């Protein structure tokens, strides 16, 4: 049973999307916690 | 041995030296606020979500994630990438455990503390044997991977690259403790993720997903097969191995202790969710090999070779920085966590029980240094079969999954049963490693351990008072 082109693209783009969101979330949380004095 | 260096040596030296100076300076800078041993070992127990999530993620993104994921995609196709990404399940499952650990042991220091207080000294010593063997194995494998990767990518001598990598991580961990590790992890994670996104987009732009898919379908169709048996087997073994690695290791426990109250659950959950796609993004690059027609002499170099083929020197620089950051982010965490285990469970626990917190604070950096020197000595002979050693440790770590999990939630677990579960789980797991194959070691070990823990608890339950866990050490200066 072979994976379809559509499913193949879906997996790659979904993974890529999450990898793009990750550093944005991290940077946002960093600035937010820094302002609140909760970084560490 | 260096086959075809993909990066110019002069450029490689420039990157190595400038990054090393930066990390060491940052380690020194962040370590200035360490006033007591608790601050040095656990960053003052106030780490927030941003730094908590990134340090968990950075530690789990090793050189393996960035190098072995393309190799697995190249050899096992779509299941290779997805199987690798299931390593994130361990992080996600540890999220509720991290919350529970923080609640039960607000003054805890190491995973050894938990086993000692929960199950007694016999179980503690068996656990320490497992944990130190695994931790040292992982540390040595990372040190060697550093030397091998620097050598493969740049042609710089293995011993020089390995020594530089270790020296840099030892210095900044010594100077700044866990604060330095967490601070550098944050920047290293951003570098890795942004670098991966850039590389992935450039590969998609140059080759295209349609071309990649059609070339693989034509030349190596098994890579797109959803019923690839070897790959499916790998997937399950990797899942259990990952859970065992995370549940028992002080790397993850020390972070659970270091995170501010209420942060542990969210930090591990987000780290797991954000980590899961990384092996897929790093891995799919290897599927472009048939479309590019690149000759790959060694499967473990497929990632850097594809990127260098498409993007030239700029791509090679990017890959080198990503891999260098991935290596450093795991090496430093392991150095810190393992030295904590040596300091608290061996030095204070076995050699000098009456040591005061001030002395421990003075001893702590020296243990990091000694551990670094010991690792360096073990890394000197270049063993190329180290990946097998890591699978070998699967039998050890999987035997601790049940003792840790039920110990955190069930009141009536039998401590003698737990000692037997770790001992026989490891022993029978090792036997199956040699008699059947590497892919069953973790599975058998976890299975045996589960049966012993459940049976002993059912037949002879021993009631435990959770308050016992709240009394660990008083370390404040």
pLDDT greater than 90 at residue A6: yes
For the question of whether the overall pTM of this predicted structure is more than 0.80, the answer is yes
All residues at 6 or more sequence positions from B280 whose CB lies less than 8 Å from its CB, including other chains:
A11, A12, A15, B69, B81, B82, B85
ipTM score for this prediction: 0.95
Q: Is the pLDDT of residue B116 over 90?
A: yes
Nearest CB neighbour to B50, from listed A3, A9, A33? A33
What was the pLDDT predicted at B362? 93
pLDDT tens digits, A7-40: 999 999 999 999 999 999 999 999 999 999 999 8
**At CA B463, angle to CA B426 and CA B98, rounded to 5?**
60
Task: Please determine, for residue B411, whether its predicted confidence score (pLDDT) is greater than 70.
Answer: yes
CB contact under 8 A, B226 and A1: yes
User: Is A15 an interface residue toward B (CB < 8 Å)?
Assistant: yes
Confidence of residue B1 (pLDDT cuts 50, 70, 90): very low
To the nearest whole angstrom, how far is the Cα of A28 from the nearest Cα of chain B?
8
Which of A3, A12, A23 is the closest to B224 by Cβ?
A3
pLDDT digits (tens, 9 = 90+) for B416-472: 999 999 999 999 999 998 898 777 888 899 999 999 999 999 999 999 999 999 875
Query: Looking at beta carbons, which residues of chain A come within 8 Å of B43?
Result: 40
Structure tokens of B350?
């076995």
Is A19 in contact with B78 (Cβ distance < 8 A)?
A: no
Q: Are B154 and B14 in contact (CB under 8 A)?
A: no
CB B78 within 8 A of CB B223: yes
Q: Tell me, what DSSP letter sits at residue B260?
A: P
How sure is the predictor about B212, in pLDDT bands with cuts at 50, 70 and 90?
very high
**Mean pLDDT for the stretch of residues B208-219:** 91
Interface check for B383 against chain A (CB to CB < 8 A): the answer is no
Reported as half-sphere exposure (CB side, CA atoms, 13 A), residue B184 has a value of: 37
Question: What span, in angstroms and rounded, lies between the C-alpha atoms of B324 and B332?
Answer: 12
B positions 23-52 inside 8 Å of A (CB):
43-44, 46-51
Closest by CA to B77, choosing from B287, B238, B236, is: B287
pLDDT score of B388:
64
- Which distant-in-sequence residues (6+ apart) come within 8 Å of B175 by Cβ? B24, B27, B28, B31, B365
Instruction: Report which DSSP code applies to A39.
Output: -
Instruction: Please compute the mean of the pLDDT values over residues B372-380 and round it to a whole number.
Output: 94
Q: What is the mean pLDDT of chain B?
A: 89
Give the Å distances, CA to CA, from B431 to B291, B387, B398, B447.
43, 18, 14, 14
The H-assigned helical ranges of B207-301 are 209-219, 229-248, 250-258, 264-275, 278-283, 289-292
Residue B189 makes CB contacts below 8 A (sequence gap 6+) with: A23, A26, B54, B57, B58, B61, B329
The angle subtended at Cα B160 by Cα B154 and Cα B161, nearest 5°, is 50
What does the alpha-carbon distance between residue B410 and residue B418 come to, in Å, rounded to a whole number? 13
For residue B378, what are the β-bridge partners?
A: none
* Contacts A27 to B, Cβ<8 Å: 190
| CB B70, CB B76: distance < 8 Å | no
Q: The tokens of B224 are what?
A: 């797109």
């Amino acid at each position: 049973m072979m994976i379809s082109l559509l499913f193949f693209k879906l997996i790659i783009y979904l993974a890529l999307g999450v990898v793009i969101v990750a550093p944005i979330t991290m940077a946002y949380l960093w600035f937010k916690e820094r302002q609140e004095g909760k970084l560490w | 041995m260096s086959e075809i260096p993909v990066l110019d040596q002069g450029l490689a030296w420039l990157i190595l030296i400038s990054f090393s100076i930066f990390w060491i300076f940052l380690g020194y800078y962040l370590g200035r606020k360490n006033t007591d041993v608790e601050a040095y070992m656990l960053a003052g127990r106030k780490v927030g979500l941003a730094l908590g999530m990134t340090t968990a993620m950075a530690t789990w993104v090793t050189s393996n994630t960035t190098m072995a994921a393309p190799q697995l995609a190249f050899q096992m196709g779509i299941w290779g990438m997805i199987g690798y990404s299931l390593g994130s399940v361990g992080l996600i499952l540890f999220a509720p455990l991290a919350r529970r650990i923080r609640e039960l042991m607000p003054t805890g220091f190491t995973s050894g503390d938990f086993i000692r207080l929960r199950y007694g000294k016999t179980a503690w010593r068996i656990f320490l044997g497992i944990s130190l063997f695994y931790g040292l194995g992982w540390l040595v494998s990372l040190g060697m991977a550093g030397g091998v990767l620097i050598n493969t990518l740049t042609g710089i001598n293995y011993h020089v690259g390995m020594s530089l990598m270790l020296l840099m991580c030892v210095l900044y961990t010594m100077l700044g403790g866990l604060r330095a590790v967490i601070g550098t992890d944050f920047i290293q994670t951003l570098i890795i993720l942004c670098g991966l996104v850039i590389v992935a987009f450039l590969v998609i732009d140059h080759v295209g997903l349609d071309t990649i898919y059609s070339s693989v379908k034509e030349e190596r169709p098994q890579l797109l097969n959803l019923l690839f048996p070897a790959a499916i087997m790998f997937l399950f073994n990797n899942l259990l191995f990952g859970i065992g690695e995370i549940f028992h290791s002080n790397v993850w426990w020390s972070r659970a202790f270091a995170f501010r109250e209420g942060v542990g659950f969210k930090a591990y959950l987000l780290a797991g969710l954000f980590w899961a796609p990384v092996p897929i993004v790093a891995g799919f690059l290897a599927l472009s090999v048939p479309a590019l027609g690149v000759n790959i002499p060694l499967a473990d170099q497929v990632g850097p070779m594809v990127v260098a083929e498409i993007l030239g020197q700029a791509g090679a620089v990017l890959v080198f920085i990503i891999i260098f950051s991935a290596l450093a982010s795991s090496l430093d965490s392991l150095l810190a966590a393992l030295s904590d285990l040596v300091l608290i469970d061996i030095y204070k626990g076995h050699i000098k029980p009456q040591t005061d917190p001030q002395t421990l604070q003075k001893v702590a950096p020296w243990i990091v240094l000694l551990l670094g020197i010991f690792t360096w000595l073990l890394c000197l002979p270049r063993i190329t079969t180290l990946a097998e050693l890591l699978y070998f440790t699967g039998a050890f770590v999987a035997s601790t999954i049940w003792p840790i999990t039920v110990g955190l939630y069930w009141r009536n677990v039998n401590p003698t049963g737990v000692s037997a579960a770790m001992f026989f789980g490891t022993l029978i797991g090792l036997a199956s490693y040699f008699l059947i194959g590497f892919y069953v070691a973790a599975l058998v070990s976890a299975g045996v351990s589960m049966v012993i823990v459940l049976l002993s608890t059912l037949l002879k339950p021993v009631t435990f008072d959770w308050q016992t866990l709240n009394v660990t050490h008083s370390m404040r200066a």
